[in-house]
Structure 1
Amino acid sequence: MVKEAVEEAKKTASAKEEPGDGEIPVEDGDKEDKAGAEGQEEPEEEASPEEGKTEGKKLFGRKKKDKKDEKIEELTDKLTRQMAEFDNFRKRTEREKSQMYEVGAKDIIEKILPIVDSFERGLDAVKEEEREHPFMQGMDKVYKQMMTTLKEIGVTPIEAVGKEFDPAFHNAVMHVEDESLGENIVAEEFQKGYMYRDSVVRHSMVKVAN
């Protein structure tokens, strides 16, 4: 009976070890590895705290500026504005100085022009036979020197006779009908006008035809 029990135990053990039809024998350790591989996926990498902060900045906008940076920007803006204001002040001052210089120059020229008028009237009154006198030649040279100096500083006479009347340069004090002249033409000049650079110092006093 003992022998029969041993034989029965061997048969039972061999039946457990043999695989079924169509099955491939797998060791216990392989079964556990494959089950673990099939049942579990590779874990995803967790986001680091630094990446989380970066994403938070993107979502909620820029980080608040430091007080020092805000102060630097404020002072820089103030300095830029002050420099612009100073540049405007400098240009305005130079323009005003230039205008003041022109006003002063015109005032002096206006005081000199009557002297020029006197010279011209005096020279026109000299007779032809007296023009060769040394005194008259000297006076003529003084007059020419004065006119050259005025021209060098920008004083020029206004053309009048034969030109069309222009109220910007001429002051009409008389009117005459003359068929030999065109309409609104200056026929005669009573007092010569002058300009200083681009502005009129004294208008020409004229008689206008037609």
Structure 2
Amino acid sequence: MSKEDMVKEAVEEAKAKAAKEQAEAEETVETEDAQGVEAEAKEATEEATETEGDSEAASEGKKKFFGKKEKKDKKDEKIEELTDRVTRQMAEFDNFRKRSEKEKSQMYEIGAKDIIEKILPVVDNFERGLGSVPEEEKNAPFVEGMEKIYKQLMTTLESVGVKPIEAVGQEFNPDFHNAVMHVEDEGLGENIIAEEFQKGYMYRESVVRHSMVKVAN
């Protein structure tokens, strides 16, 4: 073999070797790329699985939240029933207590007015008797004693809420006065009480007896 042939052969072997190494290198790169892609695909799959699981869990939780409530325990239902019953009974009792107090107060008012009505004729007799005493006898011990008893009686009535109704010189008011006579008097205004025949009385805010009066004009 000539020297030139030997050189050519060496060159061919070198080319073949270089081609082989390049092919092996490319194959290695492709394998690594494939493995990387596979790893990325696996990772993406795992993330998708986790996301799906979270979504299912959220969906399940949502169903539980918006779905039907869990059935209460019978013991809890009984407690709620008894609590509601007790609350209602307490409210009814409170209403009954208030109603009873109001009725008691009204009964007391009615009883007090009834007693006062029975006492007023005694007051009238005291006033008639004292009014008929002559001027020269008003300083007599008996008359002075009667006046003290009368004043004590009126003070006691006033202390419990009894007071006379103003009449003479006042405008006639049917809520407080009972007109039994009418007179024309130019000295008085229209619908003015000219005279009182029987004194009227009030107990607190209600009329026990109307004043019996004569009304002018």
By how many angstroms is 1:42 displaced?
Answer: 4.2
By how many angstroms is 1:73 displaced?
Answer: 2.3
Is residue 57–residue 63 contact of structure 1 (8 Å, CA) maintained in 2? no
Question: Counterparts of 1:38-187 in structure 2 under 5 Å?
Answer: 38-40=40-42, 41-43=44-46, 44-45=49-50, 46-47=53-54, 53-187=60-194
**Partner AA of 1:74 in structure 2:** E
By how many angstroms is 1:163 displaced?
Answer: 0.5
Find 1:18's aligned residue among 16, 22, 30.
22
Distance 1:97 1:58 in 2: 55
Give the structure 1 partner of residue 35 of structure 2. Answer: 33
**Partner AA of 1:130 in structure 2:** E
Give the structure 1 partner of residue 3 of structure 2. Answer: none
Specify which structure has the higher proportion of helix.
2
State the Cα deviation string for residues 25-79 of structure 1 (Å, max 9, x = none).
6368635522412443241323499756423212424333333333222222222
By how many angstroms is 1:94 displaced?
Answer: 0.3
**Partner AA of 2:94 in structure 1:** D
Distance 1:50 1:73 in 2: 33
Identity among equivalent positions (%) equals: 64
SS at 2:70's partner residue? Answer: coil
- Would the alpha carbon gap of residues 177 and 50 (structure 1) be closer, same or farther in structure 2, given more than 3 Å must change? same
**Partner AA of 1:151 in structure 2:** E
Distance 1:80 1:15 in 2: 98
**Partner AA of 1:167 in structure 2:** P
- TM-score, length basis structure 2: 0.82
Aligned residues: 202
- TM-score, length basis structure 1: 0.84
Distance 1:47 1:124 in 2: 106
Unaligned stretches of 5+ residues in structure 1: 1-6
By how many angstroms is 1:98 displaced?
Answer: 0.4
Q: Provide the alpha-carbon RMSD of the alignment.
A: 2.8
